[in-house]
Amino acid sequence: MSNPINSLEKVAGNGLINRRHLLGLGLGGAGLAITGSVMAADNALPFEIPSWSRQPGPGASGYGTRSSHTEYMQRLAGNPNPVYPGGGSSRSPLQYLQGTITPNSLHFERHHAGIPAIDPAGHKLVINGLVRQPLSFNYEDLLRYPMVSKIHFLECSGNSGSLFGANASDGTAQSLHGLVSCAEWTGIPLSTLLDEAGVLPEASWIAAVGADAASMGRSIPINKALDDVLLALYQNGEPVRPGQGYPMRLFVPGWEGNLNVKWLTQIKLTRGPSNFRDETSKYSDTMADRSSLQFTFPMGCKSLITSPSGQMALERRGLYQVTGIAWSGAGSIRRVEVSADGGQSWADALIESQQSDRALTRFRIPWQWQGGSTVLQSRATDDKGNVQPTRDALIATNGLINRYHYHGIQSWSVVDSGEVRNVYV
């Protein structure tokens, strides 16, 4: 075979290989771990005809389901808290997903008083406060408004918060970082509805309130509300689901998830922020000196290797595809670098998805694991020049009390047995 492993172009320490390789490279070549078994003759069947090929299966259904063999892919919910009914979050199984779109059934959720069962015929959206003409909209009327579609990530600002902890917990990509997902959101530009109500000059903020039992509310500056915020009615083509705010939610591109108020029932135009519970006692960033930052909206420039990742095990030495996701609340991902030696040397990964504005981006780079211990890391750079910081650099500015907006470099250790574990380096 041509292209033996020794001819691969090494681009950084501990086995990282030029990202352009492997498209067209014989993976069955000597010394590579992935082998295809050679068959005896050109047309010989290498196995018995399986049972499922011997008789017709059932026809199509009205609403499809996944294979029973993939049902282990589940969101991970925290333990229920009896004094906080319906509260909590469920995390996307990032280590099992590929591409950049998260299927709706596996999109992360965060609830403050559970999921209300809303009949859209009884739901209203009110726009009031500092407007020329307060308005009330029903669902059917809103469906007739002009809509736009955008693929964007959504991330809870508490995502990855356990990484602020003093000790590295033994988690998975899902349990540590699963409060991020990505979908195509379709909705009405909020500016269309605000223009209809007529924003008065003294209005500088909006207050968005949900119809859940928590009346979850958040304040958003008027400039953002008039810029790219959507009243989202559809997610990946179908109506947003109850867990995502059915029949309607706010979608605030690039900003922390909590602002994307679900079951939206009121937009009030105000002079200043409304200081809701979830922007005072919660979702404010407490620094090392115990001062707190409010209204820390944009999500950071961030990346994460999803394979290999925490609690996986490499079963054999040889060639692996290191892959993961990157995103930034400030724009598009321009570059992802990967290190296989704990940050001593870095190589550019290949971006293997259609890049777009504030969407998950999939990256990969081939890596030859020769055995032994090492640390895998990824580092994202966005088109505004923001570079994902190390954990040490992030903590130096933010301290260790805070639990929001963690976006430091994730380190996965690989030990000689092949086990992969979350570590601090």
Nearer to a copy of itself, 236 or 390 (CB): 236
Nearer to a copy of itself, 97 or 168 (CB): 97
User: Does 370 participate in binding a copy of itself (rule CB under 8 A)?
Assistant: no
Nearer to a copy of itself, 121 or 166 (CB): 121
Question: Residues 18, 162, 204, 215: which binds a copy of itself (CB under 8 A)?
Answer: 215
Segment 153 to 212, residues that bind a copy of itself, using CB under 8 A: 183-186, 189, 191-192, 195-198, 211-212
Nearer to a copy of itself, 115 or 415 (CB): 115
Q: Least CB distance from residue 293 to a copy of itself, whole Å?
A: 28
Q: How many residues bind a copy of itself (CB under 8 A)?
A: 134
Helix (H, G, I), strand (E, B) or coil at 398: helix
Nearer to a copy of itself, 168 or 360 (CB): 360
Helix (H, G, I), strand (E, B) or coil at 348: strand
CB 394 within 8 A of CB 285: no
Distance CA 285, CA 291 (A): 8
Distance CA 345, CA 234 (A): 43
Nearer to a copy of itself, 57 or 201 (CB): 57
Nearer to a copy of itself, 73 or 415 (CB): 73
Q: How far is CA 226 from CA 143, 189, 223, in A?
A: 20, 8, 5
Q: Least CB distance from residue 231 to a copy of itself, whole Å?
A: 13
Could you list the beta-strand ranges (E) of 203-339: 205-210, 217-221, 230-235, 238-239, 249-251, 264-270, 285-286, 292-293, 302-307, 318-327, 333-339
Distance CA 149, CA 127 (A): 23
Nearer to a copy of itself, 213 or 423 (CB): 213
Q: How far is CA 181 from CA 102, 199, 361, in A?
A: 6, 33, 11
Q: Least CB distance from residue 292 to a copy of itself, whole Å?
A: 27
CB 272 within 8 A of CB 231: no
**Is there a cis peptide before residue 247, judged by omega within 30 degrees of 0?**
yes
User: Does 30 participate in binding a copy of itself (rule CB under 8 A)?
Assistant: no
Segment 42 to 81, residues that bind a copy of itself, using CB under 8 A: 42-43, 45-47, 50, 52-67, 69-71, 73-77, 80
Helix (H, G, I), strand (E, B) or coil at 383: coil
The residues, ordered by sequence, that sit 6+ positions from 14 with a Cβ below 8 Å of its Cβ are 340, 341, 370, 374
Q: Least CB distance from residue 207 to a copy of itself, whole Å?
A: 11
Question: Residues 13, 18, 86, 222: which binds a copy of itself (CB under 8 A)?
Answer: 86
Distance CA 417, CA 72 (A): 25
Segment 308 to 337, residues that bind a copy of itself, using CB under 8 A: 319-321, 323
Nearer to a copy of itself, 111 or 421 (CB): 111
**Which span (87-95, 164-172, 368-376, 384-392) binds a copy of itself, by CB under 8 A?**
87-95
Question: Residues 13, 103, 342, 399: which binds a copy of itself (CB under 8 A)?
Answer: 103
Question: Residues 202, 223, 238, 289: which binds a copy of itself (CB under 8 A)?
Answer: 238
User: Does 99 participate in binding a copy of itself (rule CB under 8 A)?
Assistant: yes
The secondary structure of residue 374, as a DSSP letter, is E
